Amino acid sequence: MKLYIGNKNYSSWSMRPWVLMKAFGIAFEEIKLRFDFTPGSAFYQALKPVSPTHKVPVLVEDDGFVIWDTLAIAEYLAEQHPTLAIWPLDARQRARARSLCAEMHSGFGQLRSLCPMNIDADLKAVGQRLLSTEPKLHEDLKRLNDLWGEALAASGGPFLFGEFSNADAYFAPVVMRVSRYGLPLNAAATAYAQAVQAQPAVAAWVADAVAEKDFLDFEEPYRQSGSPA
**pLDDT average per 10 residues of sequence, the chain (229 residues):** 98 98 98 97 97 96 96 97 97 97 95 97 96 97 97 98 98 98 97 98 98 96 59
Check residue 224 and give its pLDDT.
Answer: 62
> At 166, which helix (H) or strand (E)?
helix 166-180
2-85 maps to CATH 3.10.20.600: no
Check residue 228 and give its pLDDT.
Answer: 39
Q: Which stretches of 91-159 are DSSP H helices?
A: 91-106, 109-114, 124-133, 135-155
What's the pTM?
0.96
Check residue 226 and give its pLDDT.
Answer: 39
Which residue type is seen at 2? Answer: K
Length of the chain: 229
Check residue 160 and give its pLDDT.
Answer: 98
Sequence ranges of the chain with CATH classification 1.20.1050.10: 91-210
Query: What burial letters (b/e) apply to 71-91, b meaning 16+ CB within 10 Å?
Result: bebbbbbbeeeeeebbbbeee
Phi, psi dihedrals of residue 144, rounded to the nearest 5°: -65, -45
Q: Are 229 and 123 in contact (CB under 8 A)?
A: yes
Tell which residue, 175, 177, 167, 170, has the closest CA to residue 198. 175
- Would strands 2-5 and 29-32 be described as parallel, antiparallel, or unpaired? parallel
Check residue 223 and give its pLDDT.
Answer: 78
CATH of domain 91-210: 1.20.1050.10
Which residue type is seen at 159? Answer: F
Sequence ranges of the chain with CATH classification 3.40.30.10: 2-85
Q: How far apart are CA 191 and CA 201, in angstroms?
A: 18
Which strands form 66-67's sheet, in the order they lie side by side?
A: 29-32, 2-5, 58-60, 66-67
Q: Can you give 60-108 as a three-state secondary structure string?
A: ECCCCCEECCHHHHHHHHHHHCCCCCCCCCCHHHHHHHHHHHHHHHHCC
